Amino acid sequence: MALLEVSGLTAGYGIVQVLFGLDFTVDAGEAVVILGANGSGKTTTLRAVCGMIDSAGEVLLDGQRVTNQRPDQLLRSGVAHVPQGRGTIVDLSVEENLRIGAYTRAPKDVDADIGRWYEVFPRLGERRDQAAGSMSGGEQQMLAIARAFMSRPRLVLLDEPSLGLAPIVTREVFDRVGQLVSETGTAVLLVEQNANLALEFASRAYVLEAGKIVNSGSSAELHGDESIRKAYLGS
């Protein structure tokens, strides 16, 4: 059984429909990417899955229906969301942001986890008392990811983590998330425009165009697909 199973997902904003009957799955411990151009519906897909916007269809987590549950309810069920733009609380320190990520957990376990994330992201440890808003975009992205993992989720929804980052920083972020997936067994559903890097990171991919899934397969299969290469891989 898939950890996340989405079927017939339809969503939009007001009278504007953006998603048209999406079907996709994410297995436990698996990294899956949704590729697509700007305006294809990638961010809307994550917002619908995590209950930020109303949707129709069915979203199952471990076989339990969670369609249109609020983000805080889903967090307690093991789904964390790293939104586009990072979503750090800019006036709070690095450590305060991390503690907020663990608000669903018993306080006695939190200190050890914070120390662990300082090991994974050393720059966060160096800046633990610094306001999040004073850090670089790459450092804020690392903080947003670490904060999501502070809840010990089973699934992380990761929205355009490369947005606005220099290529070398983007590579570091993806390498660190890949390490976390391997070490923790956490599943990741990623939406991303950097197709080359995303297909290296994920084991499977779906291609979204105008709110519909038009292709899917293993990352290796899609990387070798000539139409995908021309549309998304710059070759």
- 218-232 tens-digit pLDDT: 998 888 877 777 777
- Whether 90 is in a domain gets the answer no
CB 125 within 8 A of CB 160: no
The answer to the question of residue 54 being in a domain is yes
Residue 169, domain extent: 4-84+153-232
Give Cα separations from 164 to 46, 77, 139, 168, 231 (angstroms): 19, 31, 12, 12, 21
Count of domains for the chain: 1
Please check whether residue 127 lies inside any domain of the structure: no
Report, as an integer, the average pLDDT of 11-36.
95
Q: State the DSSP code for 59.
A: E
**Angstrom distance (rounded) from CA 84 to CA 119:** 25
Contacts 24+ apart (CB under 8 A), 211-219: 211/17, 211/18, 211/19, 211/20, 211/22, 211/40, 211/41, 211/44, 212/20, 212/21, 212/22, 213/22, 213/23, 213/24, 216/24, 219/33
Mean of all residue pLDDT scores within the chain:
90
Residue pair 210/40 in contact by the 8 Å Cβ criterion: yes
What band does 207 get if pLDDT is binned at 50, 70 and 90?
A: very high
Q: Is residue 70 part of a domain?
A: yes
115 lies in a domain?
no
**Alpha-carbon dihedral sign for residues 11, 209, 61, 75:** negative
Residue 225 has a pLDDT of 78
